[in-house]
Structure 1
């Protein structure tokens, strides 16, 4: 039973880290779930109030940062709400439509089309699309760092 517990915990950590890059996967939620799986298979004894406070704060920061950093990239270069929505839709749909490059092209194209829809010209729309890609990469870096922190804190706490 111990082996199964560790397999599930590690699988959830891997899914979580993959979710930092591939937005359709429940990244931080998978890592948070791994904390509970460990407790159910082994013990919750290692966890105290501070552990849950720290992990939950990181979870909330990741949820906020996931949207805010991408929106920041778009807004920083003059994007409208339409381009933020377009970028978000492109981020979700892009990898399905263009599997190899959709993660980059989707947000760019979504922000570009959203900004064009808002009445901007092609030059500004392209600039906003580029801001969307910068926001995406910044968001990925933030997610990787914070999710790794969650995993490291978990291992420090249980050992």
Structure 2
């Protein structure tokens, strides 16, 4: 059973890394699940401190993942329309049958939202959409770093307790 938990946990870690770039997959959440599965094995003693701290980091990063693109839009001069456009564009982009819709969606959503707010100022709309895109990249990078740290923790703990042998 331990081998199955280790393999499923490691798979969660790898899928979590991919999920840091794909909004459909909750990257940090899956990576945390991988850590939890590691601690559920008999080879590794339960450590509630690590599980609690990594869960807290996962929750904070998950909340920030939704706030950062909207804040990027606002920072670059976007209005509430641009922020709403960013969020709607992200959701539409996830389900759109186009390549990289999850990247294009927030950009187009912020741009359209700003054009609805002020149809004459294309430059402002483009600037707000750029802020949305930069916010999305920052959010993805943050999730990627957290998932990589969780992977390092997973491997380090498994190696320390010889969970693979």
TM-score, scaled relative to structure 2: 0.83
**Inter-partner Cα distance in structure 1 for 2:96 and 2:49:** 43
**Inter-partner Cα distance in structure 1 for 2:114 and 2:43:** 49
**Structure 1: tracts of 5 or more residues without a match:** none
1:66-145 alignment, distance < 5 Å: 66-119=65-118, 121-145=121-145
Residue 144 of structure 2 aligns to a residue whose secondary structure is: helix
Identify the range of structure 1 (85-94 vs 136-145) with the bigger mean alpha-carbon deviation: 85-94
Q: CA deviation at 1:60?
A: 2.3
**Inter-partner Cα distance in structure 2 for 1:116 and 1:45:** 55
CA RMSD of aligned residues (A): 2.1
Q: Which structure is larger by alpha-carbon Rg, 1 or 2?
A: 2
Matched, 1:54 2:48: no
Question: How many pairs does the alignment contain?
Answer: 158
Higher helix proportion, which one?
Answer: 1
Q: After superposition, give the CA deviation of every residue in 1:70-116 in whole Å (9 maximum; x if it has no partner).
A: 12211110112221221122223214325323132211101111122
**Structure 2: tracts of 5 or more residues without a match:** 161-165
